[in-house]
Chains A and B, each alone.
Chain A
Amino acid sequence: MHAAWTVKHKPHSLSEVIGNSNAIQKLSKWVKSWEKGVPKKRAAFLYGPPGVGKTVSVETMANDSGMELVERNASDYRTADAVERFAGLASQYGTLDGRRRLILLDEMDGITGTADRGGVRAAIEVVKEARCPVVLAANDAYDRKFSTLRKYCLLIEFSKPTVLQIASHLKRICRQEGIEADDNVLKFVAERSGRDVRSAVNDLQALAQGRKRLTHEDVSWLAERDRKEVIFNILRTVFYSGDTWEAKKASDAADVDADMLFEWIYENVPRHFTDPRDLARAMNALSLADIYRGRIRSTQNWSLLKYVFDFMIGGVAVARERSKPGGWVPFKFPGRIMVMGQTKGLRARQSSIGMKIRKRCHISSVRAVKEVIPYLRIIFESNAEMAAGLTSWLDLDEDMLEYLAGGKRQANAIAKRLA
């Protein structure tokens, strides 16, 4: 029912192709030069990463200049035989109806050694004999198999468009589809695609089709999904491979924040190490990792970070001796981070009271929270008179008073004595 947006919104004219203006200019100049006779280089070799517009540039160029495009890609010319048959077309200057011809040999990387024996050699023959422009396209023109072919070609490099260029392309598509989308959202989609226009458009379709609006919430889970997948992979290896080397490799390969990874492992270890002896070993490894985190904090010597990984990855990996994998146990989001989130308001209150105490009591606000507030709460809950005195002595506001008093009623009773 819905066409793929990559096809539906494909550029029709060269001017709609995004990015690579230099490469495109070079290409069209070369094609134009054929009008004055066969140029020195009979073929152009376009190379660059996938989804940057190599094929579409050739297609729109043919369209713009009214040429007939004859296109073959790797799936068509597997062998020398097939390519030679195709060569006949290239040796003619134009078509019967007088239109000139443009030949595109796409996906040249797809010609592989044994299966397509002779494929590249045959392509060379085609180029040598060509009487119309031949364009070749591949990701890597410097592959060894192209070394001879390269000599006959004008090399044109295509590079990735910028995030902004892709985002504005996506915006155009959104406009045509009647979708409202924030620029930031589109930039995010563009970035996540690795600046591959084709996959950015595919992603956009998956996210936005059938919607009127595309907001940040609609796309943010994408990043979350990627990150979680990465972390789950590490956790699986750390918990079940039993191999320090494997586990460390998995965590090295993924660029995950060490503290975040620690929290995930710390949260999930007890759910996967069911034997108490294994669990004690794993938790001890985490305890040691944590000591090195403390040492890094106090010395700021980040080269100690490798020991954190030794223990939290390697140490945990070898802790499993008796625990049997108990079926599928889902990985749980770090509870400590959740609790910290839930208690953020509470802690902010405590620390603001701590700051007040600090002004009066020659003690840090950090320690005041732990060492003075508990006693203040007892006083405020049970003795309104003493609490009133302390409220003005410490210069507490209503909010702080209510927290220490443990409720509105007692807070009011204390406040009455203040007046």
Chain B
Amino acid sequence: MSFEMWTEKYRPRSLEEIMNQKEIVERLKSFTNARNIPHCIFAGPPGTGKTTAALCLAHDLYGEGWREHLMELNASDERGINVVRETVKTFARTRSIGEIPFKILILDEADNMTSDAQQALRRTMERFTETCRFILICNYSGKIIEPIQSRCAPFRFSYLRREDHDTYLRAIVEKENVELPDTGLNAIFDVCEGDLRKAVNTLQAAASLDREINSETVYSVVGRANPTDVKDMITQAMKGEFIEARKQLRDMIVRSGVAGSDIIKQIHSEIFRSGLPDKWKIRLADAVGEIDFRMVQGANEEVQLSALLARLGEAGLEMKRGS
């Protein structure tokens, strides 16, 4: 028996197979029909099909040998200006052999590029438009510099609708011969919130545990993937045990490799699940939201989250005094 990561095994190969983001797919199809594409920006949350759409576009445009006309770079791994100067330029300036005179360069996680690198990229995009089209993929198009944005056709991806999400997962379980009752499906959507990569990874991990995937299986996967006792950490912080709380936070991030965005999501839901007075839930939501935003801006996760823990400690004191 051969196994792959299901995210790859069931990744659509052609635009025809993409079931969500209908409007975007229609526009992309018109590009492939015209056998020409502009520079593009695909922006949107994780797991909504941005990379897939880019790969499918290339596939549909070039046909079978599509990989030869394509280069995929990831700005998180190669974010410096030298990559733009060397790798990108070398690829962009050589002419493609075949019917279509240009190649495609997919630059994933482009919002992680330094603005220096983006400036260099902007010139490269201009100079080599004839021979190369760029698809920039990012979570937030706001982090792409204005001159690049204005040279690209923008596409905004949004979270999958519930029925698309369900259809996609049901198709997988059918082929993989596992069972996914509604409780399991609901649990996955509840946890992954329409992030399809996360949903499929959760599904596969759950399938490795059991042939029937109910909500219990799902939650045990989630618990093991994110071994975070956020609840205890919050309790410590509110008791004023900041140093202990920060130590727990550090273990989660450094040793268990939990993403800061997951931790703050859990802190948020933990606060609303707690027995705190509503007035305080709202006050704390403001604090959580502010820190969430700061992390998105590219600050250090541990520093930001521990500032939140300190705020929780302050709130704990204020509550005790009844303000």
Contacts and interface: CB of A to CB of B under 8 A. Distances in A.
A390 B7 CA distance: 12
A293 interface: yes
A266 B250 CA distance: 13
A150 to B, nearest CB: 55
A369 B4 contact: no
Contacts of A388: 3
A364 B225 contact: no
A239 B295 CA distance: 26
A366 B5 CA distance: 18
A223 interface: no
Contacts of B75: 364
B8 interface: yes
B146 interface: no
A369 B257 contact: yes
Given A280-B313, A379-B204, A390-B3, A364 B299 contact: no
B158 interface: no
Given A374-B225, A382-B209, A283 B307 contact: yes
Interface stretch (A27-35, A103-111, A269-277): A269-277
Contacts of A295: 297-298
Given A280-B311, A390-B5, A294 B298 contact: yes
B302 interface: yes
A189 interface: no
A290 B257 CA distance: 21
Contacts of B297: 291, 294-295
Contact of B303 (A282, A286, A339): A286
Contact of A300 (B116, B205, B224, B306): B116
B141 interface: no
Contacts of A385: 1, 3
A378 B209 contact: yes
B205 A361 contact: no
B202 interface: yes
A290 B143 CA distance: 18
B242 to A, nearest CB: 5
A300 B224 CA distance: 38
B291 A287 contact: yes
Interface string B259-298: 1000000000000000000000000000000010010011
Interface in A216-247: none
Nearest to A343: B254
A378 B221 contact: yes
A305 B71 CA distance: 36
B211 to A, nearest CB: 11
Contact of B205 (A279, A357, A375): A375
Contacts of A335: 247, 250
B114 A276 contact: no
A389 B1 contact: yes
A283 B74 contact: no
B317 interface: yes
Give the interface size class of chain A: 35 or more
Contact of A298 (B3, B114, B204, B226): B114
Interface string B190-205: 0000000110011011
Contacts of A383: 208-209
Contacts of A282: 310
A80 interface: no
B3 A393 contact: yes
Nearest to A367: B76
Given A287-B294, A375-B201, A370 B257 contact: yes
B44 interface: no
A371 interface: yes
Most buried by A among B55, B143, B247, B255: B255
A279 B298 contact: no
B68 interface: no
Contacts of A336: 250, 254, 302
B198 A293 contact: no
Contact of B240 (A266, A276, A290, A357): A276
B3 A386 contact: yes
B240 to A, nearest CB: 5
A280 B246 contact: no
A346 B255 contact: yes
Contact of A276 (B143, B224, B313): B313
A291 B46 CA distance: 23
Contact of A364 (B5, B74, B303): B74
A162 interface: no
A297 interface: yes
Contact of B108 (A286, A291, A339, A364): A364
Most buried by B among A283, A370, A394: A283
A290 B297 CA distance: 10
Given A286-B307, A362-B55, A364-B76, A393 B4 contact: yes
Contacts of B299: 287, 290-291, 293-294
A299 B145 CA distance: 11
A361 B307 contact: no
13 contacts: A276-B242, A276-B310, A276-B313, A283-B311, A290-B300, A295-B297, A297-B298, A299-B114, A336-B302, A363-B108, A364-B76, A390-B4, A394-B5
Given A276-B316, A287-B307, 5 more contacts: A290-B299, A291-B297, A298-B298, A299-B116, A369-B257
8 closest cross-chain pairs (CB), A and B: A389-B3, A383-B208, A287-B307, A364-B76, A283-B310, A280-B314, A374-B225, A294-B298
Interface of B: 1-5, 7-8, 11, 46, 51, 55, 72, 74-77, 108-109, 114-116, 143, 197-198, 201-202, 204-205, 207-209, 221, 224-226, 240, 242-243, 246-247, 250, 254-255, 257-259, 291, 294, 297-300, 302-304, 306-307, 309-311, 313-314, 316-317
Interface of A: 266, 270-271, 276-277, 279-280, 282-284, 286-287, 290-291, 293-295, 297-300, 335-336, 339-340, 343, 346, 350, 357-358, 360-367, 369-375, 377-379, 382-383, 385-390, 393-394
